[in-house]
Amino acid sequence: MAPVGRPQPVRVLIDATPAEHDLRAGAGMPHTVFRATFPELVRITGGEPAEVAKGPAQVRLTPR
């Protein structure tokens, strides 16, 4: 879901893990991606920084 431009307010949680990195945010379509800093993303979305996941994701692949 695009983090901005919503017709109605929605609760936005922003993963705090990449806070020190240059971010790219999607605006609904592949050609509408924009660059933002973490503070800018929090400000324009009204979002809440949150701990979304602990540690690296672990993906298990099943052999075919």
List average pLDDT for each run of 10 residues in the chain, which is 64 residues long.
71 80 73 84 87 67 61
Which pLDDT score is estimated for 36?
A: 83
Q: Are 12 and 45 a contacting pair, CB within 8 Å?
A: yes
User: Whole-prediction pTM value?
Assistant: 0.62
Residues 6+ apart with CB under 8 A from 13: 47, 48, 50, 52
Question: How confident is the model at residue 58, as a pLDDT?
Answer: 61
pLDDT value for 50: 87
Task: Please tell me the predicted confidence (pLDDT) of residue 60.
Answer: 62
